[in-house]
Amino acid sequence: MTYYRVIKINPTSRAELPKPALTGDAVLLEDRVMVWDEKLADDLLKSEFYGKPMSKGLQLSLAETRYLLGKKILCVNDVKNKKRISISRFRRKAKSIQPDFDLRFTVYDDLKNRGMIVKTGFKYGAHFRVYGDNPDKTHSKLLVHSVPKNFVSPWPEISRAVRLAHGVKKEMLFARVVNDWVEYIRIGRVRP
C-alpha cells in the first residue's frame, strides 16, 4: 500500500537576482519567440535566467514572453509582417498554441511575483520547474503543474507525477488556479 501526504504550501524564494537592465525587441516565429539582440539575450539570461540559449539568440517560452511583455521589457514583432504585437494579440496566439495558456501563465506570473526562478518542466512531465535560488549553483527542488479549480484526476496519474518528481529528487506541486488566485498543493509519498 502507498501513502501520500497532501499539504497546502506557500512557496517562497531566497534568490536576490538583478532585474533585467535592458529592454528590446523579440520576434514571434510560428510557435516560439526569439531574442536576436545578443546584449539583450545575455541580460535576460544572466539576470533572471530567462529562456534557452540558441546559436546567436535566446529562445523564450510563451509564458516568459507574456511576462516580459507585461513588464515592458520586451516588444514582440510578428516575423511575417514585422508589426508589433499587443499583449492581447500575443495572448490569443499563445492560446492557439497552448489552449491552457491562461492557466499556465497565471501560475507562472504568481511564481515570478514570489521571487522564484521559473523554467519549463516539460522534460519532467510538468509545466514548470522552479528554483528558489540561482540555477547555476543549485538544482530545482520543485516541479509545478497548473490545474484548474475543479481538477479531478485518477490516483494512478497523481502517483506517476509524484514518483517521477521523487525520482529526480524534486517535490511535486499542483498549482490550483481559482480565478486569479493560486493555491499550491504539495503531494508526496510517505513511507510508514
Query: What confidence score (pLDDT) does residue 84 get?
Result: 95
Predicted local confidence at residue 90, as pLDDT: 97
Question: Exactly one of 131, 137, 141, 149 is catalytic; which is it?
Answer: 131
Query: Residue 15's pLDDT band (boundaries 50, 70, 90)?
Result: low
137-152: pLDDT as tens digits:
888 889 999 999 999 8
Cα–Cα distance for residue pair 182/107, rounded to 1 Å: 7
Per the annotation, the verdict on 4 as an active-site residue is no
Q: What are phi and psi of 84, to 5 degrees?
A: -65, 145
Residues 47-92: pLDDT tens digits?
899 999 998 899 999 999 999 999 999 999 998 888 999 999 999 9
What's the CA angle centered on 14, arms 169 and 107, to 5 degrees? 70
Q: pLDDT at residue 25 above 70? A: yes
**Domains of the chain by start residue, with CATH:** 3-14+101-190 (3.40.1350.10), 24-97 (3.40.1170.20)
Which range, 2-6, 95-99, 158-162, is most confident?
95-99
Residue that the C-alpha cell 506517476 belongs to: 160
What was the pLDDT predicted at 43?
Answer: 94
Catalytic: which of 139, 145, 149, 184?
A: 139
Q: Averaged over 111-134, what is the pLDDT? A: 90
Angstrom distance (rounded) from CA 30 to CA 162: 33
Query: Has 131 been annotated as catalytic?
Result: yes
Catalytic pick from 67, 145, 170, 184?
Answer: 170
Residues 54 and 117: their CA atoms lie apart, in Å, by 20
For the cut 90, the answer to whether the pLDDT of residue 14 exceeds it is no
Is 139 noted as a catalytic residue in this protein? yes
